[in-house]
Amino acid sequence: MTQDEKYMKRCLDLALLGGSSVSPNPMVGAVIVHEDKIIGEGYTSPYGGPHAEVNAVNDTIQCYGETEANCLFQQSTLYVSLEPCAHFGRTPPCADLIVRLRFKKVVIGCMDIFAKVNGEGIRKLKVAGIDTVVGLLEEECKYINRRFFTRIQQQRPYVILKWAQTQNGKFAPEENEQRWISNNASKQLVHKWRAEEDAILVGTRTALVDNPSLTVRLWKGKHPKRILIDRDLSLPIDSAIFSSDAETIIFNAVKTDWQGHIKYIELENFGLYLPQNILYQLYLMDVQSIIIEGGAKTLQSFIDAKVWDEARIFISPQQWETGIKAPTFEGTICREEKIAQDKLVVYERR
């Protein structure tokens, strides 16, 4: 690994610390290096706050004082995992700050395809005479922001399918009863995932049978937006999914209404392109990622519509004689691991 790659790896590690708190912004890390020594570093603050480059600059100023830091910047290289922004949004352009501080060199992991950036940040740096390198660990930098890039490119959230199945491929009991398949360690991991994504979706049957709250209880973090598909609004209003713990959005064929933390969104031609229409509505609401938790019919509808990106499947050692079959799909295995007695297999759609 080269020195440049080492510093970009550090940018990626920092970027991940932003987690889902930055959404719908991308996760970005920045490192300032002077004579082979890191003198400042930062990552993007929660949405609306300073970006990674600003936090790295402020970190340097805090350590060295403003006068000395301003001198050091002119002899330093800034490493950043994503192209610096070039437009005024909730914060001023980072590219302008870098130019004003006269950094000697900037090394960028990958370009930002957002229309208001998309090469403009790089152009500003080069016009100012800053030595600018683009594409270091490019694929790794793109991968950590796959949610952001999916939302920009496909105008929908990044979709994660999640379910548990028995060793012989059973998904749920045939009767309307709740029966756990995965173990407690797997349940805790699922709550961690919920805290990392913007939203979580279930259908009416799952909400009726399991009465899930879809909140983060076994992990520390924010609750995702809860998304319910309920065509005829048949779910009782005292169901756990309507609790005040988190926002709940109900896609239906009856009404559009807003009652505090509960939002009803009516979809015309409800059964036509349902997964696509739901995802586009969520895109318009700045939802960058979503977990589809079931049941089998709901999961299969997103699979058949080809609007999914990852599938995370827990396989239990249990064997059931009868039961609803697990969804069927085609994907590429990218990871397998043991979660106590369960096996977790993660697929990507190619």
Binding positions for Zn(2+) are 51, 85, 94
Q: Which residues share a beta bridge with 41? A: 31
Element (H, E) at 9: helix 3-17
Binding site listing for substrate: 194, 206, 214, 217, 293
Return the ∠ at Cα 254 (arms to 208 and 194), rounded to 5°: 45
Tell me the residue ranges of DSSP E strands in the chain: 29-34, 37-43, 77-82, 105-110, 131-134, 158-165, 170-172, 199-203, 225-229, 248-252, 257-259, 262-266, 289-294, 310-315, 324-325, 332-339, 342-348
Binding site listing for NADP(+): 164, 180, 210, 295-301
For 132-144, b/e burial (b = at least 16 CB within 10 A) is bebebbeebbbeb
Distance CA 85, CA 307 (A): 29
Distance CA 23, CA 161 (A): 19
Q: Which two tokens stand for residue 6?
A: 């080492």
Distance CA 125, CA 78 (A): 12
Binding site listing: 51, 85, 94, 164, 180, 194, 206, 210, 214, 217, 293, 295-301
State the catalytic residues.
Answer: 53
Burial class for 61, CB neighbours closer than 10 Å (0-12, 13-18, 19+): middle
Residues 6+ away with beta carbon under 8 Å from 259: none
Contact 319, 278 (CB under 8 A): no
R_g over Cα of the chain: 23
Distance CA 154, CA 221 (A): 28
Amino acid at 247: E
Map tokens 């996760």 to a residue.
Answer: 27
Contact 53, 42 (CB under 8 A): yes
Distance CA 284, CA 330 (A): 29
